[in-house]
Amino acid sequence: MISYARQTQEEQPEASLPPVEEHIAPAPRVSVQAFCETVETAAAVQSAGEDRRLGKAHLKIQMGGMAAAIEAYRSAPTPNVIVLESDGRNDLLGGLDQLATVCDAGTRVVVIGRINDVMLYRELVRRGVSDYVLAPVGAIDVVRSICNLFSAPEAKAVGRIIAVVGAKGGVGASTISHNVAWAIARDLAMDAVVADLDLAFGTAGLDYNQDPPQGIADAVFSPDRVDTAFIDRLLSKCTDHLSLLAAPATLDRVYDFGTDAFDSVFDTLRSTMPCIVLDIPHQWSGWTKRALIGADDILIVAAPDLANLRNTKNLVDLLKASRPNDRPPLYCLNQVGVPKRPEIAAAEFAKAIESQPVVSIPFEPQIFGSAANNGQMIAEISANHKSIEMFLQIAQRLTGRSETKKQKSSLLSPLIEKLRGK
């Protein structure tokens, strides 16, 4: 698909990140070979290859552009994707025609070029080029172009993974993840699932007042059986838009998982659910780290004390470094204002973390305690409690969506937009 309205480089910030509302789904296990002309593009493609969304793809980069590609595929089979840089000096269209004679069916071609011209776009489309990206490119442009080749346009909204983790144990990460998922389902009207990854002690079942006989353990202990239908049977429905993949919360087994134990569960959930909220226990292991790094967005929940500050800082630094083409993780403060307890102020957090907390949720033992013990969400206990607005704010920041209820547009609005455009 060729988009005619590319951003010009002047509009792009130095290391451009995708906008919040854009969701780039990870690419499947495909082979990609890039033939670059400039070191700048080669560097961008190289760092694209290190992006989490291309983690499964096999990427090979070489220099020499079109000529090198034609030469390479004279004898070798073509990969799933060929990325070609054209610096505009050579005959791009002639080269593509020549390449077509050696390309296997099913191979897709992405061109990175410098010429911004509709006639050229048309000729490229006619030759079956899948995407044309205007140079100079950043890593995220390459990631986007490759990933979009494999996600059907109608599946665009599918599969956003939101990971929630506590900076310390017991800070309220689970409570917040459950209430935020509730807001996503109720106020943003997105189908969401909460996956309780605290298999031994998870409370999602208690919090939503559900006691399903099956849940996430059935999937993670039999990865070979995991597919859409299998996972569907493990979900228990909490509300219209919200389902739960519950933890067993039993101790007869131990839960020492391998690093990629949850991969197939997450991949399957992604293929059917628009929003997946992971309630990640406070621990540092191969699989928790992988779940955090692989998520589309991250929320760290911290209580306002020194250990939480240090841990939040460490988590944010690590996640920023491992996800250079993503928004930095978000964090919020929780249990703020415990009587007589000395606290570190939100401003101190903001200085150390180099970003503001999304919200600071007050310590409210009465209402949070009742919710926990009754198996209810805060909104069910007190419809106007101030924390509800905060959960919604977190939901909006994480999904990039605004509230649907307040946005009701009239039937005529597309027409009105058009008229305005004129």
Ligand X SMILES: Nc1ncnc2c1ncn2[C@@H]1O[C@H](COP(=O)(O)OP(=O)(O)OP(=O)(O)O)[C@@H](O)[C@H]1O
The reply on whether position 288 binds Mg ion by CB under 5 A is: no
Q: How many residues bind Mg ion (CB under 5 A)?
A: 1
The reply on whether position 166 binds ligand X by CB under 6 A is: yes
The residue nearest Mg ion at its CB is: 174
Contact range with ligand X by CB under 6 A, out of 23-31, 82-90, 111-119, 357-365? 357-365
The contact mask relative to Mg ion for 321-350 (x = CB under 5 A, - = no) is: ------------------------------
b/e string for 266-303 if b means 16 or more Cβ within 10 A? bebbbebbbbbbbbbbbeeeebbbbbbbbbbbbbbbbb
The reply on whether position 174 binds Mg ion by CB under 5 A is: yes
CA distance 266 to 362: 32
Collect all residues with Cβ–Cβ distance below 8 Å to 415 and sequence separation of at least 6.
Answer: none
| Structure tokens belonging to residue 363 | 């310590």
The reply on whether position 364 binds ligand X by CB under 6 A is: yes
CA distance 390 to 175: 13
The reply on whether position 365 binds ligand X by CB under 6 A is: yes
The identity of residue 146, as a single letter, is I
Max Cα–Cα distance, the chain, nearest Å? 77
Using CB under 6 A, which of 6, 114, 156, 282 touches ligand X?
Answer: 282
Contact range with Mg ion by CB under 5 A, out of 108-116, 138-146, 174-182, 260-268? 174-182
Collect all residues with Cβ–Cβ distance below 8 Å to 377 and sequence separation of at least 6.
Answer: 178, 179, 182, 207, 208, 371
The reply on whether position 179 binds ligand X by CB under 6 A is: no
CA distance 307 to 289: 19
User: What is the arrangement of strands in the sheet containing 160-166, beginning at the earlier edge strand?
Assistant: 236-237, 242-245, 192-196, 275-280, 160-166, 297-302, 330-336, 360-362
Q: How many residues bind ligand X (CB under 6 A)?
A: 21
Using CB under 6 A, which of 130, 335, 396, 399 touches ligand X?
Answer: 335
The reply on whether position 281 binds ligand X by CB under 6 A is: yes
The reply on whether position 177 binds Mg ion by CB under 5 A is: no
Provide the binding-site residues for Mg ion, judged by CB under 5 A: 174
What are the residues binding ligand X (CB under 6 A)?
Answer: 166, 169-175, 198, 203, 281-282, 334-335, 361, 363-365, 368-369, 372
